[in-house]
Amino acid sequence: MTRNKSGLSTLVGAVFVILVLAVGLGAFIHALNQQDLYAQVATQRTQADWDRLNEELDATKVAIVSGKFNVTLMNEGKLPIKLDSLWVTNQTANNPKWHQKFDFTPAKEIGPSKTITNIGQDLSLNALDSKSYVLKFVTERGNAASIKSISVAEADLKLSLFLMPRTITTGENVTILLSVKNSQLDADSIHKINPIMDYSVCIPDCNSVAITPKSTPTQLDSLARDSTALFKWIYKVQAPANTIIRFNASIPNGKPGTFVTDDLTIFIIETAKFAEQSTTAAQAGSLAATGGTFTGNELHLLNSTAISGVSPAGQKMHHNEPERIGEANAAQIWLSSATTATNAKRWYTQPSAGVATIPAGNWKFWLCGVVNSQTQNLKLLVNITEVTGTGAFVRNILTNTQLDYQTQFHNTNVKCKENQNSGPNLSQQQIQNENRLRMDLWWDSSSTVSWFRLYYNATNIEGGKESKIEFKGSNVQNPFPSFYFNLDGKDFWISVVNAGPLHFFITADTRAIFRNVNTNATYGSILIEVNRTNTVAIHQDNNIRDVLLVQPNNAKELHFSTPATIPTRNTGTNNEGARPTPGTYDLNILLEGYDQNGGKLIKILYFGRVTIV
């Protein structure tokens, strides 16, 4: 009985203990639940932080288009981005600076690795080209991307100007490139770059200068940091010879000093040598221009150049011996005995660039020369033939046409006279692309003079005139700029002109190279002597001269050996290898020497194609 009662108390006590433990367990479970909830929140927060950290928004470009911002944004992260707002600060405004927020409603979404453009075009804000702005985009996650775009008024710009070419003849085009580099360190972009070109400064003056824009650049909406933009102008320039035109490129409203200038020099192409100079302008800057042209023993070059603007207008053809310019015995060809067409003096025009149309009319032949007796008649015969660029016959234009000069010429002074007969009257002529005109001039046996010297380009010629053919009424604008030389496979002479300001020497290493245009067979020629009158041998031995001085505005004739596979000074020996076979060759002259400043002169002068017969 007692044991039973004691057991009841124990049981009751145990129940209470269990109840107490149950209360404690409940508390423990509650604590665990709270912990779990907190852990979930912590996880969400960590995820939010992670997402925010991995959000990569980049403002890649900003411009002002039609008075509105035009921003390009790129999402470079892996999460989609929502744009909430844009803060715009006008950096140029002062006290106070202008600062405003614009909300995007709804938010603009940018997918991962996506780009959106034209941000800002629909804002109510008007952006001004003359102001600098900072734009800050804020995302839904709380990140921001800023971009700063400044006006040219605050920009550090590096300008460079390139004239191509820097020397032209009147009527030609000059291409001008302006390089603009954004070297601003504290700005992402410069907006609205609209350079202008001024050419109102000329030497001696701009009165006779006509510049026609052929192409002008458009403005640039924005230029990113460290980027470079190129602006291109093309102008057609007409100006008197020796005019210098200063092209001044500037950025309107730019910082003081944001301009760059370069000078364009105008000269007149009198002979093909200058055309060659323009394309072989000196390298290394030591020689402004050098060039050369051919002279031949029997065959002569005939070049043709448009002389639009010169009265009488027309196409002129003239012999080309520039080395004799200004000399008393300039560029003369002796017609001293009756000849036939087979051994006539022969000229070629340069190839036509495109189809050249010569209108119908009388062709006039102007010749400058001296006769042995001014009381004797001078009559010449002429053939004009259209040939291909390599000299192949195409068609006859004039055959055995007499030019009657009667007694117009003087026996001491050079006179330029037109033939007394009306000149051949021709229908419209079309010279096909790349074709040339060939003129054969020879003595007419009905002439009573015993000799006639034909002069070209000499300053002492009457009135500065020159021998030429006029295509009356011609408006041919395409000159025939090239060279053609009919080489007989023997030694030959070349004239080199120093049109630059520096003296230079030509050394014995100068060479001529012939390359067959069909087979690539190549032959070389060695410089063997200089000056056709008072010849001086060029040799590498100490006992003979090694170099030849060419003064500015002077020319020297160079005598080259017969082209051969083993070039030698001793032309005709058994050691010269093979000579070139008849055909068409490209001729290059490797001109070596040094100038008055010790600068090395190495020029490769391309003389075009020659025919070796």
Partner 1 sequence: MSKEGRKSKGFSTVLMSAIMLSSISAMGVTVLGFSDSVVSSQQGRISELYVERSNALQEIFIMEDVWFDGVTGSKQVHVTIKNVGQLPIKVTSITINVVKSSTNQLINPDQSATIDIAYEWTNSLHDIVVQTERENTLKQSWMP
Give whichever of 1 and 328 is closer to partner 1, judged by the CB atom: 1
Of the candidates 101, 232, 395, 600, which one interacts with partner 1 according to CB under 8 A?
101
Q: Which two tokens stand for residue 99?
A: 């600062």
Would you tell me how many other CB atoms lie within 10 Å of the CB of residue 531?
14
Beta strand extents in 444-509 (DSSP E only) = 452-455, 468-471, 484-487, 492-498, 504-507
Q: Which two tokens stand for residue 528?
A: 């063997």
Write a three-state SS string for 243-310.
CEEEEEEECCCCCCCCEEEEEEEEECCCCHHHHHHHHCECCCCCCCEEEEEEECCCECCEEEEECCCC
CA dist 610 and 484 (Å) reads 5
Of the candidates 60, 109, 129, 136, which one interacts with partner 1 according to CB under 8 A?
136
CA dist 137 and 102 (Å) reads 10
Of the candidates 58, 115, 141, 418, which one interacts with partner 1 according to CB under 8 A?
141
Which of these, 585, 550, 364, 332, lies nearest to 457 by C-alpha position? 332
Give whichever of 106 and 309 is closer to partner 1, judged by the CB atom: 106
CA dist 498 and 596 (Å) reads 13
Of the candidates 3, 47, 48, 175, which one interacts with partner 1 according to CB under 8 A?
48
Q: Is 38 in the site for partner 1 (CB under 8 A)?
A: yes
Per-residue contact string for residues 18-37; x = within reach of partner 1 by CB under 8 A: -xx--xx-xx--xx--xx-x
Give whichever of 94 and 574 is closer to partner 1, judged by the CB atom: 94
Footprint of partner 1 on 191-250 (CB under 8 A): none
CA dist 169 and 152 (Å) reads 36
Tell the smallest beta-carbon distance from residue 98 to partner 1 (Å).
11
Tell the smallest beta-carbon distance from residue 99 to partner 1 (Å).
5
Of the candidates 93, 144, 203, 230, which one interacts with partner 1 according to CB under 8 A?
144
Tell the smallest beta-carbon distance from residue 54 to partner 1 (Å).
15
Q: Is 42 in the site for partner 1 (CB under 8 A)?
A: yes
Helix (H, G, I), strand (E, B) or coil at 595: strand
Please report, for residues 298, 342, 406, the alpha-carbon distance to residue 335 in angstroms, rounded to integers and kept in the order given.
11, 14, 15
Tell the smallest beta-carbon distance from residue 25 to partner 1 (Å).
9
Tell the smallest beta-carbon distance from residue 139 to partner 1 (Å).
9
Give whichever of 186 and 541 is closer to partner 1, judged by the CB atom: 186
Of the candidates 99, 214, 395, 600, which one interacts with partner 1 according to CB under 8 A?
99
Of the candidates 3, 94, 96, 533, which one interacts with partner 1 according to CB under 8 A?
96
Which of these, 212, 208, 263, 209, lies nearest to 236 by C-alpha position? 212
Tell the smallest beta-carbon distance from residue 214 to partner 1 (Å).
51
Of the candidates 111, 142, 213, 464, which one interacts with partner 1 according to CB under 8 A?
142
- DSSP for 552-566 reads TTEEEEEEEPPPBSS
Footprint of partner 1 on 76-95 (CB under 8 A): 84-85, 87, 95
Tell the smallest beta-carbon distance from residue 148 to partner 1 (Å).
14
| CA-angle at 103, arms to 100 and 104, nearest 5° | 140
Of the candidates 64, 138, 335, 550, which one interacts with partner 1 according to CB under 8 A?
138
Q: Which two tokens stand for residue 371?
A: 């006769």
Which of these, 567, 587, 585, lies nearest to 576 by C-alpha position? 567
Give the binding-site size for partner 1 (rule: CB under 8 A): 42
Tell the smallest beta-carbon distance from residue 146 to partner 1 (Å).
11
Q: Which residues bind partner 1 (CB under 8 A)?
A: 1-2, 5-6, 8-9, 12-13, 15-17, 19-20, 23-24, 26-27, 30-31, 34-35, 37-38, 41-42, 44-45, 48, 52, 84-85, 87, 95-96, 99, 101, 136, 138, 140-142, 144
